[in-house]
Structure 1
């Protein structure tokens, strides 16, 4: 089974999400991304039960944010520093992060690859107590 994509949008009170595939009329909301993921699984599984479909876990769900919403939510990631890491002009990535420009597919892939590399690098580190 391929992953079921949910488009996530920032709202004044948290986040909302809806299935990108119109054959799944599913939407939900949450105060933060962690709660939203749980609510997506619950909403999908309620729909699946009614329709006789296979239930899913969070591993079957693909969360899609636009670049601005990503940087709004994950403020700990500095767009300029990430841009330097991936060789992208800091003004350009700042325009993406602030919503002044929309990145194309190649730029999104470049940013996402950098974010994933950073995540892998951070998850492999240890800190010393000395």
Structure 2
């Protein structure tokens, strides 16, 4: 079983990474950037594995797998900063101003709208993966 790790931007502008699906272990990472939060999360994983080894405790299976990271909108655009927010909004058929508000965390985003954005990013990714350059 892999750890599902959510990365979110906090109100103070920092980022937090935490696992959401493991009853055996709760891990948290914090940082001023998404990469910082991910690095701190991995550090928490390694420290937990080391502590288990030192104390003769079985290592939870989830700590032997690469975690799956899930992003909120603000964290997504910070981590993948090569994505132009306005251009992506146009591609997805979403109002550009609204998408910028989502990025800043200034407005509520419904589950349907979140799914629309995620699905659109997946379609774009599939398109890009089939791309051939000449």
Corresponding residue of 1:27: 28
**Residues 1:104 and 1:40: Cα distance change in structure 2 (over 3 Å):** farther
CA positional deviation for 1:105: 1.0
**Residues 1:63 and 1:40: Cα distance change in structure 2 (over 3 Å):** farther
Tell me which of 47, 64, 78 is aligned to 2:84.
78
SS of alignment partner, residue 64 of structure 2: coil
Corresponding residue of 1:5: 4
Distance 1:112 1:39 in 2: 28
8 Å contact 1:26–1:43 — kept in the other structure? no
Distance 1:15 1:43 in 2: 20
User: Which runs of 5 or more structure 1 residues have no equivalent in the other structure?
Assistant: none
**Higher relative contact order, structure no. (Cα contacts within 8 Å, ≥ 6 residues apart):** 2
Match status 1:53 vs 2:60: yes
Matched ranges for 1:1-130 at <5 A: 1=1, 3-9=2-8, 16-21=16-21, 23=23, 24-28=25-29, 32=35, 35=39, 39=43, 42=46, 50-54=57-61, 55-58=63-66, 61-128=67-134
Superposition CA RMSD, Å: 3.2
User: Which runs of 5 or more structure 2 residues have no equivalent in the other structure?
Assistant: none
8 Å contact 1:79–1:90 — kept in the other structure? yes
Moved more, 118-127 or 23-32: 23-32
Distance 1:46 1:15 in 2: 25
